[in-house]
Amino acid sequence: MRNLITDVPGLKVGHAHDARCATGVTVVLCDEPTIAAVDVRGGGPGTREADLLDPAATVEKVDAIVLSGGSAFGLDAAAGVMIALAAAGRGFAVGPARVPIVPGAVLFDLNNGGDKAWGLDPPYRHLGRDALHGAGLDFPLGTIGAGYGATTATVKGGLGSASAVLPSGHVVGAVVAVNAVGSPLFGAGPHFRAAPYERHAEFGGLGLPATFLDEASAPALKGHVPLSATTLAVVACDAVLTTAQAHRLAVMAQDGLALSLFPIHTPLDGDCVFTLATGRRPLSAPIPDLARIGACAAAVLARAVARAVFSARALPFPGAQPSWRDLFGAPSAPLQP
């Protein structure tokens, strides 16, 4: 096990970023067309092909899912992936034509210090294609891909991933770009909100704080710029699911954001969680099995959020938001490069 979403058989992940623009793209590539769904909770979402993932829609399977920075400009990353997949012969067959199915979502990283004066040629189509071509089973975490320019209310955000195996043998994994308007930490830190779900000191092994502050009346919020946040995730399992079951999994997995970030799903976020079911292992008891997979997915996503922040490094710009390691020193477990 890599403790990555690619522990789920049938998936690969690729990243690309532009350091000058301080933005990037992450692609989750399916080895073959895969059952998918999405649950959107944030008040300011930016999505592509989200309606197609409704369980009542005709097309049930996707070829890839794209997470991108750039706000609405970043929606073009999925176009780059789509064109590259079409050139490789992938896509939904409509007579002799093939149309790759590539849903995506974007986060807002336009005010993070990078040079966004890209004129008539935003980088996202190229970044999407580069991320697709670099897709593999192993990938780094932190300031990479869609999490390159991500921030939170308190510390630098980033790209995280985690996985787990249930007693049934089903594998569950998540990848997340953490760009939340809220905070992944209790108070000023260093303790992570996801601490109860941590495995093997994967984000420092600090546990829970000795005391808990009442943050309900004055939660930490990132800046005052509307629509300046959004956390995006893909949660996957190797179960055989229908599109309706995949949607229920997405709904349950969203709780992983509530377990690791506060506040979440605000009017300032565009949070959404995609799900993929690669269909390698049937459910023996569909209702309880799906409930257990969904519960596991929420915990795995919470862990992925903390790993994203734990592994991030600050951007090289004056006044850039500090990373967790900048504020709290060397962790007890090894960081991703």
Burial of 79 (0-12, 13-18, 19+ CB in 10 A): middle
**pLDDT of res. 216:** 83
What is the per-residue pLDDT across 94-117, written as a single tens digit (0 to 9) for each? 888 899 999 999 999 999 989 999
Which of these, 171, 209, 189, lies nearest to 300 by C-alpha position? 171
In the block, residue with structure tokens 């893909």 = 234
Residues 98/82, Cβ–Cβ less than 8 Å: no
Q: How confident is the model at residue 335 (pLDDT cuts 50, 70, 90)?
A: very low
Q: Is the pTM of this model over 0.75?
A: yes
Residue 203 is classified by DSSP as T
150 forms beta bridges with: none
Say how far residue 327 (Cα) sits from the centre of its chain.
Answer: 24
Contact 122/288 with Cβ under 8 angstroms? no
Rounded-to-integer distance, Cα 23 and Cα 239, Å: 33
The pLDDT tens digits of the residues spanning 242-292 come to 999 999 999 999 999 999 999 999 887 889 999 999 999 999 999 999 999
- The whole-number pLDDT of residue 331 equals 56
Residue percentage of the chain with pLDDT more than 70: 96
**Alpha helices for the chain (secondary structure H):** 76-87, 124-133, 243-253, 255-258, 286-311, 324-328
Q: What percent of the chain is predicted at pLDDT more than 90?
A: 84
Of residues 297 and 219, more confidence is placed in 297
Please say if the pLDDT value at position 222 is more than 90: no
Q: Could you report the per-residue pLDDT of 29-62, keeping only the tens digit for each? A: 999 999 999 999 988 899 999 999 999 998 899 9
Average pLDDT, the chain: 93
